[in-house]
Structure 1
Amino acid sequence: MEQLVGNSVLHLDTSKVETYELHDMQELVITTTANTANELVIKLVEDMDLHCKIQLANHSQLHILFDNGAKHTKLQIEADVQLAATIKIGMYELSDSEVQEKVLVNLLAEDATAKIVSTSISTTKKAFDIECIHHAPNTNSDMNNFEISDAKANYDLRACGTIKKGAFGSKSHQMSRILTTSDDQVSKATPVLLIDENDVMASHANSMGKMDEQHLYYLTSRGMDEKQAKELLTLSYLLPISEVFDNEDMRSEYINKVRSRVGL
């Protein structure tokens, strides 16, 4: 793990798998080189107001996960994705922190692709504003959000897919699942689709509510106690964060972190 102190620029000119821990930082710039594939974890370990600018070169890949362990965090991510480049962004928000995060991805050239996955457990205020804008033909975006709202949670999500005129053949999909574990919480999800082109595909799907009693009954009838059954169902909400990575070590690390967080 490398530590970055102060405003920093990461130029990824070769493919790598790396973890960075940020300190005393307001701006982080990340650029890729054509035909490289990188997988990064960015750890936020202290309170900060961070602006992260990402620029993907043609035919490059960047899988990046922001792992927030601070108490108060403001995070703004802007990514520009060029020809046939792919970005995956993960937001790992399983701490008790207060969070305000904004993600904007611009798909600027043909065959640019974005996938965004957020997982969060809320006992305080967490707000997410996520948008993918399709500027070019045959671009693809997928936004998946998973939230567990415990007592005292105030969770607010806005997810927006925008397809500009001329971005024909593009696909914009989003899905949000919110599990509420208490009546003493406020959760809101606002899906938005802004479409200015005919030959496209776009969809959104939302679900919000308490644990399915039939699922609980099935698991307890197979020998689990109620606590174990609830922990297993909770785990299923959070594990998709591991899909940000292709690297097996990274994927296993975050599967284990999620399992530990829910008590399994």
Structure 2
Amino acid sequence: MSVLLNQGPNRFSLTHDIELSTLKDTKHSLILDIQDEVEASLKVDLAYGSTLDMFCFNTSNQLNTQEIYTLNQDSVLNLSYGDLTQGETTRTVMVNLEGQGSQVQLSSATLISKNTDLKYQFTHKAQHTVGDMKNYAVMIKDGNLSLYAIGHITENGAYSETHQSTRVLNLEGSKKAAVYPHLIIDNNEVQASHAESTGQMDDDHLYYLQSRGLSEAQAIRLMVKGYLSSVTENIADASLKDLILEQIDKKVEEIC
């Protein structure tokens, strides 16, 4: 199915293969709900000068998606993922910056209690393109994470930037978190960076919150909410940001 996005807010569920597109010099926001069991592909094409703020809200029992985003000249994609599920998730995301001056900001917040396989890749194919990726993951009991974060600047991508950071918080009982950051640079006139950290709950912070009257469980939930809420940093739409924070709050209360 092919859909031309309306200007302004859009919302629908991902249940099957779909192709989305925008018109030149337009602005859009999209909430994509993912529920039950889903296996689907998603293709998104951003026209010249268009902007899309997109939030993928995953509460499915099982998810397997392949996603391709094509960014034409001067288009902007603000892409956020909220994986607040107790099911298995497999996702491959390819963002192709085809046009000069195109930009992507990708943020992901993931609660992991089952097998979760994620691959996010930016491919810079034109000059003056910018990609910034920020991943936040919380490992809870029986969680298993494999995450590939890839930035590729081709020989045609002079004066481009690609940056990525991944932070993983391990709670007691989680199994394994494997993060694989990759930078592939085929042009010297670029900027690129990556950062990755994996750690346990901060005992001093936990103790401080308990000293203020919270139980250990309440303190852990509060810290997890704060950690995952970082996914909203680059979202300009206030109503969308509030919705994401509300859903994070609700799901953390249910799962943690």
With the shorter chain as reference, the TM-score category is: over 0.9
Q: Where has structure 1 moved over 6 Å in runs of 4 or more? A: none
- Please show how residues 236-255 of structure 1 align to structure 2 within 5 Å: 236-243=226-233, 245-255=235-245
Contact 1:150 1:180 in 2 (8 A): yes
Q: Is residue 16 of structure 1 aligned with residue 8 of structure 2?
A: yes
**Deviation by residue 1:37-57 (Cα, 9 ceiling, x = unmatched):** 111011122312111011111
The alpha-carbon deviation at position 228 of structure 1 amounts to 2.6
Q: Which residue of 2 aligns with 1:191?
A: 181
Q: How far apart are the structure 2 equivalents of 1:146 and 1:122? A: 11
In the TM superposition, 1:101-180 aligns within 5 A as 101-180=91-170
Pair 1:226-2:219 in alignment: no
Distance 2:10 2:99 in 1: 27
Point out where structure 1 has 5 or more consecutive residues left out of the alignment: 1-7
**Once the two structures are superposed, what CA deviation does each residue of 1:165-206 show, in whole Å capped at 9, x if it has no partner?**
131111111011111112441111110000111111111111
| Residues 57, 50 of structure 1: alpha-carbon distance in 2 compared, 3 angstrom cutoff | same
Give the corresponding residue for 2:199.
209
CA RMSD of aligned residues (A): 1.6
* TM-score normalised according to structure 1 size: 0.91
Contact 2:142 2:173 in 1 (8 A): no
Aligned-pair CA distance for 1:71 = 1.1
Q: CA deviation at 1:213?
A: 1.6
Q: 2:193 & 2:204 partners in 1: Cα distance?
A: 28
Contact 2:206/2:220, CA 8 A, preserved across alignment: yes
Tell me if structure 1 keeps the 8 A contact 2:14–2:38: no
**Does structure 2 conserve the Cα–Cα contact (< 8 Å) formed by 1:84 and 1:110?**
yes
Deviating more after overlay: 41-50 vs 141-150? 41-50
% identical equivalent positions:
26
Post-superposition offset of 1:227: 2.6
**Given residue 20 of structure 1, which amino acid in structure 2 is its aligned partner?**
F
Gaps of 5+ in 2: none
Letter in 1 for 2:198: M
Provide the C-alpha distance between the structure 2 equivalents of 1:94 and 1:234, rounded to a whole number of angstroms. 12
| Separation in structure 1 between the aligned mates of residue 8 and residue 200 of structure 2, nearest angstrom | 41
> Shift of residue 64 of structure 1?
1.3
Distance 2:89 2:153 in 1: 28
* Secondary structure at the counterpart of residue 180 of structure 2: strand
